[in-house]
């Protein structure tokens, strides 16, 4: 995608990825439902990281709608996140999704 190329040209280091991911996490309203430490509507970023690292799961695959929810599998909760995936996350480029995942993984 052309947009991917545009993002790629701006990214020179892992730190740039994390910075872009942090910006997107706010701009794309992820922060409304995901806080670093506390459950708000969705699970905290730390809880997501814990499950993804324990299971060796791929966060980008989830954001692309290619893998099932593994953190909170309550159907009502899954539906809320699924609405985001189908609504606007699908319009993000692979590079942007990788940046979001890098930012989330950087929260320790």
d(CA 19, CA 104): 11
CA quadruple 27, 33, 82, 3: dihedral, nearest 10: 10
Instruction: Please tell me whether residue 59 binds ligand HEC under the rule CB under 6 A.
Output: yes
Which one of residues 19, 46, 64, 84 is an interface residue with ligand HEC (CB under 6 A)? 84
Which one of residues 35, 44, 77, 94 is an interface residue with ligand HEC (CB under 6 A)? 77
Q: Which one, 16 or 72, has the nearer CB to ligand HEC?
A: 72
The three-state secondary structure class of 5 is: helix
Q: Which one, 43 or 102, has the nearer CB to ligand HEC?
A: 43
Instruction: Please tell me whether residue 100 binds ligand HEC under the rule CB under 6 A.
Output: yes
d(CA 51, CA 54): 5
Which one of residues 33, 60, 105, 107 is an interface residue with ligand HEC (CB under 6 A)? 33
Q: What Rg value do the Cα atoms of the chain yield, rounded?
A: 13
Instruction: Please tell me whether residue 78 binds ligand HEC under the rule CB under 6 A.
Output: yes
């Amino acid at each position: 995608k052309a947009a991917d190329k545009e993002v790629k040209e701006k990214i020179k280091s892992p730190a740039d990825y994390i910075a872009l991911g942090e910006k997107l996490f706010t701009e794309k309203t992820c922060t409304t439902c995901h806080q670093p430490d506390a459950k708000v509507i969705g699970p905290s970023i730390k809880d997501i990281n814990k499950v993804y690292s324990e299971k060796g799961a791929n966060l980008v695959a989830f954001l692309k709608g290619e893998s099932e929810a593994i953190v909170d599998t309550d159907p009502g909760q899954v539906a809320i996140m699924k609405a985001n995936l189908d609504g606007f996350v699908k319009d993000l480029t692979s590079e942007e999704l990788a940046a979001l995942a890098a930012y989330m993984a950087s929260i320790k």
